[in-house]
Amino acid sequence: MLKSVGIIVTLTAAAALATGCSGSNSASNAASSAVAAASSAAAQAQSAASSALGQVQESSGSQLCNTLSEVKAQLEAQTGGTVTVGEAQAAGANISAKLDAVKQNAGPIKSAIVSGLQSAENAYLQTLQGQPANTPLSQASPQAQAAAQAVSKAYQGVATGLGCTN
């Protein structure tokens, strides 16, 4: 949209210059007025486009951070000391779905950041496999506890990388 506004302004300016070269003072004044009007319209269009883009980014960023906040609550519940291995494993599917939503809304570059958290979550769930479902996480293997801490650190990296302060 901004490129097309720039092209219109350029074409209008070229036409104005061509008209101004005819030697007619009134034509030159009319061309100058047309250039000024086109420049003003272009500035207004650019301002409106920038404002709209900012609102879209703010809206999607807000939605992204809200979903990430939900993930944080679920991760804290999943990796807390009183949760059992079975509860942590059951929470994994819901967390995975939320992370997919965050990743989809993050865009192509920032989704790579979310992939790191997904990898940490998957590694955590793998460390829980083979452990009794009723075992409290605080009594699970040291590897599972380390993986839970890795998930927490990965979450902090994602929150920072996406500009979320939750």
Q: What is the pLDDT of residues 143-160, one digit of tens each?
A: 998 999 999 999 999 999
Return all residues near 102 (Cβ < 8 A) that are at least 6 apart. 64, 67, 68, 71, 114, 158, 162
DSSP string spanning 16-67? HHHHHTT--HHHHHHHHHHHHHHHHHHHHHHHHHHHHHHHHHHHHHHHHHHH
Q: Is the pTM of this model over 0.85?
A: no
Q: What distances in angstroms separate CA 5 from CA 8, 31, 43, 138, 164, one per listed residue?
A: 5, 18, 9, 61, 34
| Domain residue spans of the chain | 2-161
Q: Which residues of the chain have pLDDT under 50?
A: 1-23, 27-28, 30-59
Decide if 101 contacts 132 (C-beta within 8 A).
no
Decide if 157 contacts 117 (C-beta within 8 A).
yes
- What is the model's pLDDT at position 166? 57
| Residue 139 DSSP label | G
In this structure, the number of other CB atoms found within 10 A of the CB of residue 48 comes to: 12
